[in-house]
Structures are given as C-alpha cells and as structure tokens.
Amino acid sequence: MPCLLVLALSLWGGNRKILRIACTSSIVKSAKHTRLHGHITAESVTAPLGCIHAAFIFVMTMYTQLYNRLSFGWNTVKIDMSAARRDPLPLIPFGLAAFAATLFALGLALGTTIAVGMLFFIQMKIILRNKTSIESWIEEKAKDRIQYYQLDEVFVFPYDMGSRWKNFKQVFTWSGVPEGDGLAWPIREGCHQYDLTIEQLKQKADKRVRSVRYRVIEDYSGACCPLNKGIKTFFTSPCTEEPRIRLQRGEFILATRGLRYWLYGDKILDDSFVEGVSRIRGWFPRNCVEKCPCDAETDQAPEGEKKNR
C-alpha cells in the first residue's frame, strides 16, 4: 500500500515532465528548452525504472495475497478475500478494495513505463541527430526543393556535427549545461551559422512561385468534416490543428500544398475586406474550387500534392 502513494506522487510530478518532453520534441532550438534537454532525458529514464520497480511489487503482492486465500475443494477452487489462511495475519489488510486499488496502480505503472519509455527513445533520437522535428521537416523540404529543380547544390544541416558521439556530448556535459547560449551554436565545419535561416527563406520564395491560383465554384462553410462535399472528402479530412477557411463562390485562392481531396492555401483579399486582416489561410475541399485557366496551362501541382497522390 505505501507504493500506491509513491506511485501517485511520481505520476503527478511526471505528468508535467511529460508535457515538457513533448514540447521539447517539436520546438526549434531555444536556450531554455536546450538547457532542460539533458535533465528531461534523464527523468524519462528514471521514471520508467521506478514504475517497473513498483509494478514488480504490485504483482508480487497480489500473487502472495491471492495464493494465501486459495482453498481447494472437489473439482473447485475458491478465493476468500475476507482473511488469509496463515498465521500471523498480514499487518496491512488486503481486501477487495485493496486488490482493486493495486490492480489500478499496476495499470498506471505499466502505462507510464510504455509512454515515457517511448518518449525517451524519441528524445535520444533527437539528441543523437542534434535535430528537432521541425528542423527535420525543414531538411526534408530542402531535399525536395533541390530534387524538384534539379539543382547542383547540397544542403548540409549545420547543427549536426557528423558524429552521434559529438552530438551527444553537446547535451550531456560534466557541468550539466549544454554547449551554446541560445543564440550561437556549435556548427559543422564548412557551414554557416545562418544556413538554416537562408534555406527557410529559399523555401518561402519557392512556395510563392509554385502556388496555384484557384477560383471558388461552390460555397464552403468551413466545417472540419463536411457532410455535403462527398464521402471521400468527409473521411479524408486532414488530421491537423490548422484551420479550415470559409469559401464563397467567386473568391480566389492561392493553393500552396494539398492532399487528394483537400487543398491548403491563402485567400486572395480585395480592398473591400476587413481592415487589419493581413491574410486568411487554411484547408478547404478540392471539389469546391477549380484551377484558373491561366494556371491550368502550366499544370503545376501544389507542393506536397505530388507526394500524396
């Protein structure tokens, strides 16, 4: 029973740690999160170890207590939860309520071991590559851009030192403080401090060039899963937090990427629109728009559409 309190306290403190771990995995380098990176990774190791220890205690407790309450008859086996068949009696009573609480705590321990254990592997992958998930996405788009235009350039991620051991040593140091101050970071030989920023600017410019102009031919209310736009459109709604935009017949959209039944783009605003609104962008069904004749001749697919077909 004392293990229940220990596990509850560890889970209560661990929930906040899990949130920090999840946030760290998807945030580009910053001084605050990078300084916590090593500590969070260490905590993601100790939490599963503690839960495994608690789970072992729970299993052995239930096994011994239930075994002492077994009674064998002719072709029957009964469990009497009222008292144990041994002398002296246990110091802590183990009844039906204690059994249910122990079983529930065992489930929490196993669930925490699996969840935090997976987060540990994700964190170690990020540390050994010295690359967050957003930076990995930027690198992937850089390779797609070079391949699409068949350029004679090679994008090298500047923060990957080329060795997993070197990347590991940047986070786990004897002082406990990782290398870098949040503004300047150790970079790979032959790279520039702003190579990643320059690549992002190139991708923004390429995104504007490859955008396709569409005209709205059918109104759309902005619903997440519209029922009146077709079964396939309903079941293939993008699983993302990005918004949907309301469409009216006659409006124009610049689509930058898309799926088979959905597109993502910016609405082209006119002078009569609400002042102070710079841009309206989001997802909308593909069957609500048609490609403008001037763009239909070039037959350029929005970025991301070619890979999802």
What does the pLDDT look like over 5-30, one tens digit per residue? 334 434 444 443 333 333 333 334 44
Please state, in angstroms and as integers, the Cα–Cα distance from residue 21 to each residue in 27, 79, 107, following that order: 10, 44, 22
Considering the chain, what is the average pLDDT of its residues? 77
pLDDT band at 43 (very low <50, low <70, confident <90, very high): confident
The answer to whether residue 95 scores a pLDDT higher than 70 is yes
Please state, in angstroms and as integers, the Cα–Cα distance from residue 274 to each residue in 219, 221, 222, 243, following that order: 20, 19, 18, 19
pLDDT band at 137 (very low <50, low <70, confident <90, very high): confident
pLDDT band at 113 (very low <50, low <70, confident <90, very high): very high
Report which secondary-structure segment, H or E, holds 71: strand 70-73
Q: How many Cα atoms are found within 13 Å in the side-chain-facing hemisphere of 123?
A: 28
| Average of per-residue pLDDT across 253-267 | 90
Distance from C-alpha of 117 to C-alpha of 111, rounded to nearest angstrom: 10
Break the chain down into helix, strand, coil percent, rounded to 5. 50, 10, 40
> Residue 39 has what pLDDT?
73
Contact of 126 with 25, CB cutoff 8 Å:
yes
Least confident of 132-146, 233-247, 262-276: 262-276
Cα 131–chain centre separation: 14
The answer to whether residue 309 scores a pLDDT higher than 80 is no
Domains, the chain, in order of start with CATH, read 33-129 (no CATH), 133-206 (no CATH), 211-291 (2.30.30.40)
DSSP 236: T
pLDDT band at 277 (very low <50, low <70, confident <90, very high): low
